[in-house]
Amino acid sequence: MPAGVAVTRRRALVVLGSAPLAAVARRGDALPPELLGTLPQAQLLGEATLRYLGWQVYDIRLWADGPRARDRPEAARLALELRYARALDGSAIAERSLQEMQGIGPVSRDQGERWLAALRGIFPDVDKGDRITGLQLPGEGTRFWVNGRSAGELRDAEFTRLFFGIWLSPRTSQPRLREALLGKAASS
């Protein structure tokens, strides 16, 4: 999730960091296969690369039914696809996600415990090249895929708002990444 990396012996752990981001241009890429049944008309709105201390953490792409998602992403059916550039611990991804969500809006202790348990069950340890895709269904919930395979669903509108807010909320810890995803920043 928007964060930097600290390396351990075999895996990298997600930690907070603010690092320069570089948008990547690959507009010819096709819609991820897992989205064909749920967002068949989706367009690639933007993409970026998260780097920390010069290390590439992941590439992220935003898919939406149309460009109106740029103005109100919280109300749009959209998907975020993360392609990891290094090995990361799944439990650390889940914990970092919850911390980032707490920066977007209030999360009660009970919510946080439920959401963290669910995320730990969804996010595996990832290796270079692995993909996690999340589909935002406003007012309903979130569906997840790992490498194109269904990984779980959380039917909780507040979770969905805060989770996608990690990248798309004006309160994100990574405003340059947000601008690139929403197609509001020039590629660098």
pTM given for the model: 0.84
Q: Which of 35, 107, 26 minimizes the C-alpha distance to 77? A: 35
pLDDT in tens, the chain (188 residues): 444 333 322 233 333 333 333 333 344 478 999 999 999 999 999 999 998 788 999 999 999 988 889 999 999 999 999 999 999 999 999 999 999 999 999 999 999 999 999 999 999 999 999 999 999 999 999 999 999 999 999 999 999 999 999 999 999 999 999 999 999 865 44
Q: Is 1 helix (H, G, I), strand (E, B) or coil?
A: coil
pLDDT single digits (tens) 33-70: 999 999 999 999 999 999 878 899 999 999 998 888 99
Q: Is 175 helix (H, G, I), strand (E, B) or coil?
A: helix
The tokens of 25 are what?
A: 């241009």
Sheet arrangement for strand 55-64: 43-52, 55-64, 78-84, 131-137, 141-146, 149-154
Q: Are strands 43-52 and 55-64 parallel, antiparallel or unpaired?
A: antiparallel
Q: What residues contact residue 119 under an 8 Å CB cut-off, 6+ apart?
A: 93, 94, 97, 98
The sign of the CA dihedral 159, 61, 59, 17 is: negative
Q: How many helices, marked H, and strands, marked E, lie in the chain?
A: 4, 8
Q: Which of 130, 156, 132 minimizes the C-alpha distance to 142? A: 156
The tokens of 56 are what?
A: 């590439």
Q: State the amino acid at position 83 in one-letter form.
A: R
- Tally of CB atoms within 10 A around 40: 9
- Asked if 53 and 86 count as a contact pair (C-beta separation under 8 A), the reply is no
